[in-house]
Amino acid sequence: MKIKPKKSLGQNFLIDRNILKIISDNGNIKSNNTIVEIGPGSGNLTRFLIDENPKKIITIEKDKNLVKELKIKFHDKINLINDDFLKVDLNFLRNENIIFFGNLPFNISSQILIKLIKLKIEGFKIEKLILMFQKEVAERIIANHDTNQYGRLSIISQWCMNIVKIKDIKPSSFYPMPKVDSTLLSFIPKQNYLKLEKIKTLEHVTNVFFNLRRKMVRKPMNILFEDANKISEKLQINLNSRPQNISCINYYKICEEYEKLLY
Ligand code: SAH
C-alpha cells in the first residue's frame, strides 16, 4: 500500500537514516526501558528503536491507515495504540521507566510537550524525551531571558527539565519536505527544581505576564499581588523591567509566592 502523507496530521516522515540513527542513539535505550513513540508514522524510526531491544515499545498514532501498515510491518514487536496522543490516558505507564520519542506533528508539538511535562510532575518515571520540533518552536523552548524567543514555553519547559539541543535538521531529511527547518531536542527531568502545588500556577502566572509582554512588570505584579512592592523587593525584581527580562527562576519564585496566597 502506498502511503499518501496527510498535511492535516503534520505528516513529514523522516527518511534520512543518519538522523534516525542519531535520534535512536540519543535515547541511550536500556533493556529495562519502555519506549513510547508519539506519531510513529510509517515506522522509520520505530525500526531503529526495535533494534535497541527495549523492554517494550508502545506507539501512539492517530492515523488508522498508518496503524494498519505498522501492524503488518512489525506484528507483535510493538504495541499499537490508535488514538490522539493528547487524549490518550497514559496511567498504565505509571510504573515504567519511560523514554519518549517523537518526530512530532508540528501543529500540536507544544501541547504534546506540556502533556509530557505534566506526566513528569505527576511522578511518572520519565528518563528522557527525544523530540523533534519546528526549529522556531525549539528556539522558544530553550530560550534564555532577555531574548525575543523567551516566553511562556521557555519558562514552563525549563521548570523541571534540562534541555539540550542535539541538532538542527534540514527539510531534505523528510518526505514530504517541510517548509521550515527542524531541531532535535533532548529533555532530561531535573532531580531538583522549585516544587509548586500545581503546574496551573505556572501557566496562570506566565499568562498574566506575557499577555502584557510589552508592559513593565509592575502591572502583572499588581494584578497578582496586593503588595507587589514587597514581593518584588524580596525577589529582587525590578518593576520597571519587561516580562522577557525576568529569569525562569524568578518566575518560579513568583509562583511560589502566589501559591502562598492560595493554599
Ligand atoms: N515518526 C514518523 C512520522 C512523523 S510525522 C517519522 O519520523 O517518520 C508525525 C506523525 O504524527 C504522523 O504519523 C501523524 O499521523 C501523527 N500524528 C499527528 N497528530 C497526532 C496525534 N494527535 N496523536 C498521535 N499521532 C499523531
Which pLDDT does position 263 carry in this prediction?
Answer: 76
Which pLDDT does position 4 carry in this prediction?
Answer: 81
Is residue 221 within 8 A of residue 127, CB to CB? The reply is no
Which pLDDT does position 2 carry in this prediction?
Answer: 59
β-strands 79-82, 97-103 pairing: unpaired
Give pTM, 2 decimals: 0.96
| Pocket of ligand 1 from Cβ distances under 6 Å | 9-14, 38-42, 44-45, 60-63, 66, 84-86, 103, 105, 108
Residue 35: all three cell numbers together: 519506549
Which pLDDT does position 134 carry in this prediction?
Answer: 97
Longest C-alpha distance within the chain, in Å? Answer: 66
Find the Cα–Cα–Cα–Cα dihedral 119, 159, 220, 203, rounded to 10°: -10
Which pLDDT does position 125 carry in this prediction?
Answer: 98
Average pLDDT of adjacent 10-residue blocks, the chain of 263 residues: 81 97 98 98 97 98 97 97 98 97 96 97 97 98 98 98 98 96 98 94 98 96 96 97 98 97 85
Which pLDDT does position 262 carry in this prediction?
Answer: 87
Buried b (16+ CB within 10 A) or exposed e, 149-166: bbbbbbbbbbbbbebeeb
Q: Which of 4, 6, 9 maximizes ligand 1 atoms within 8 Å of its Cβ, making it the mutation to test the pocket?
A: 9
Compute, in angstroms, the gap from residue 60 CA to the centroid of ligand 1. Answer: 8
Instruction: Please identify which residue in the block is written with the cell numbers 519564585.
Output: 253
Burial environment of residue 193 by CB neighbours within 10 A (0 to 12, 13 to 18, 19 or more):
middle
